[in-house]
Chain A
Amino acid sequence: MGSTDTPYSRRRWLGPEDLLGYLLMIPSVVWVLGIILYPLVFNFWVSFHRMSMVEAQAPYVGFANYAAVLMNLDFWSSLRLTCVWTFGSLVVIVPTGLTIALLLNRDFWGAKVVRTWILLPWMFPVIVITLIWRWILDPVVGVLNFLLVQTGLVASPISFLSASKAMTTVILVNSWRWIPFMTVMVLAALQTVPSEILEASRVDGAGAWSRFRWITFPHISPVLSVTTFMLTMWLFNMFPPVWLMTQGGPGGATLILPVKIFIEGFQVFRMSEAATLSVILLLFLASIMGLYFRLSGERVGGR
């Protein structure tokens, strides 16, 4: 017994255990690669050709597309905006989700109701969320400005989706949507914290912060880490919220890469440009992924 004891480096014949391991894993791998491999490769191919229409001749152009994209200031501006969008959102989502989860983990009157209510933002379809927020934030007919002006907090209505404020606004609206997700994940992770150890330390006189730092946090950190990492990947590629609120405007203030890719591909029909941008983004994210695995040791074999 004990394939778990075998050092990874020692090669051995594949036993029936390994076969079962493969069998259990293969369906998922096949499902994912089966759908995504062809588009990935096709996209890669398009980035090396000049293709403006779905059915046209596409001459080979080598690295010309990449050169054009990388030398265009618009790309770097878009990349910068995407980083602002991603890390700005993470800064709001992760701590807030964590805090709310910690609070919800206690038993208090109405906890069950609050737990469900807190999760509502995540359950609305994006289109609904963006419509409603745009309505609430509207300077002329929106309720937020109405309240701000009526109570005298501001002199005149604030345009929350102006060029200077749009990025902050979309980050906050999207974060509002995703905080429940983080809360759910942390709450689940909190259930794995052994309560006797917590009790014991409380009896020993450890304060709330110490308990959190030395007992709770280590137990939830794998889930917290992986979830944050996945959220980072998703944010870099997230199209609907920004598109539905501003379509990348005003004046390109929220023109993050996924939106830019969509416009290039489906609005101005520059397929090569869209493909090239997405390959660059993919390589960028792959390196972030590599970095994450190296730093966290979370790579499956590394635990």
Chain B
Amino acid sequence: MGRRHASPARIALYLPLAGVLFLYLFPGYWTLASSLKSLTDLMGAPTAFPLQPVLENYQDVLGGTPFLVFMRNSLIVAGSVSVLTLVLASTAAYSLSRFRYPGRAVFSQLILLVYLFPGILLIIPVFVMMTRLGLYNSLVAVVITHVLFTLPFSVWTLKLFFDTIPEDLEAAARIDGASRLSILRVIYLPLSRPGIAAAAIFSFVVSWNEYLFASVLVADNELKTLPVGIAGWTSSYAIQWGQITAASVLTILPAIVLFAFIGRLFIRGLTAGAMRE
């Protein structure tokens, strides 16, 4: 970490950047500040800071609503989706990247069909399918549906990262007699950590935020995920700002933890090390 001198060019770059950053981060701050305001505060003229910070919104949310249940459900679903997607996507990406068999290109494009179709029209057919399978009103149905959306992108992303790994590495390991699957596990996965991290974050966040299918495929209140539960608080007529903002702050905490944990994987230049080997 070197010292940087403040040159005029640097300031000219960083100042508007700081301005954009502020605008960018403002809604996040606004949400946090609002969650600490009492209702009279919220109804009055907008202020930068809560006039009298209160924790009642958080108490309302945590004590008076099934928020923790929703959180648990979201964690189960998003976690499962992430794991499942990574498992399926890494094998598929390896197949697309390093194997040559007829139909390879077709497969890779077929899975993109999912994205050519508006999800809203899938609701009734998926609902019918899940009912016939006896999976209606279960988180399994939600997980299965979410993986449908996260899989194609993850496959393609991991394939791109696998593509950057030099083929000699694999060749060398094959000479040593390693099986292709162990090569996948020992060479490709570790060297593609940034890609894996990106795919994991993508799958987790998409599932975490998904609303439509999580709402339609589940009947019990105790099985609702966070977006569905929170949306339910806004009845047809009213929005309770204090609770919505408090819930929003609580909602992103697990994602922040995930990011902090996985974010480390972004920072290392791993291919450099492999090449020296």
Contacts and interface: CB of A to CB of B under 8 A. Distances in A.
A, B bound: yes
Interface of A: 1, 3-4, 6, 8, 11, 14, 17-18, 20-22, 24-25, 27-29, 31-33, 35-36, 38-40, 42-43, 54, 103, 107-109, 112, 115-129, 131-133, 135-136, 141-143, 146, 176, 179, 181, 184-185, 187-189, 191-196, 219, 222-223, 226-227, 230, 233-234, 237, 239-240, 257-258, 261-262, 265-266, 274-275, 278, 281-282, 285-286, 289, 293, 299-303
Interface in B100-142: 100-102, 104-105, 107-122, 124-126, 129
Contacts of B267: 191
A219 to B, nearest CB: 8
Nearest to A107: B1
A24 B148 contact: no
B24 A176 contact: yes
B109 A289 contact: yes
A115 to B, nearest CB: 6
A116 B263 contact: yes
A123 B101 contact: no
Contacts of B209: 122-126
A81 to B, nearest CB: 15
A187 B117 contact: no
Contacts of B102: 11, 14, 18
B211 A127 contact: yes
B49 interface: no
B46 interface: yes
Contacts of B72: none
B195 interface: yes
A35 B269 CA distance: 38
B88 A31 contact: yes
A143 B45 CA distance: 8
Given A25-B107, A237-B117, A278-B121, A125 B227 contact: yes
B163 interface: yes
Given A28-B151, A32-B152, A300-B104, A237 B118 contact: yes
A136 B148 contact: no
Contact of B100 (A6, A179, A195): A6
B230 A230 contact: no
Residue among A141, A191, A234 having the largest count of chain B Cβ atoms under 10 Å: A191
What 6 A-B pairs come out closest when comparing CB atoms? A21-B99, A39-B125, A125-B227, A143-B46, A24-B95, A188-B198
B105 A300 contact: yes
B58 interface: no
B157 interface: yes
Residue among A22, A185, A275, A300 having the largest count of chain B Cβ atoms under 10 Å: A300
B212 interface: yes
A169 to B, nearest CB: 13
A35 B99 contact: no
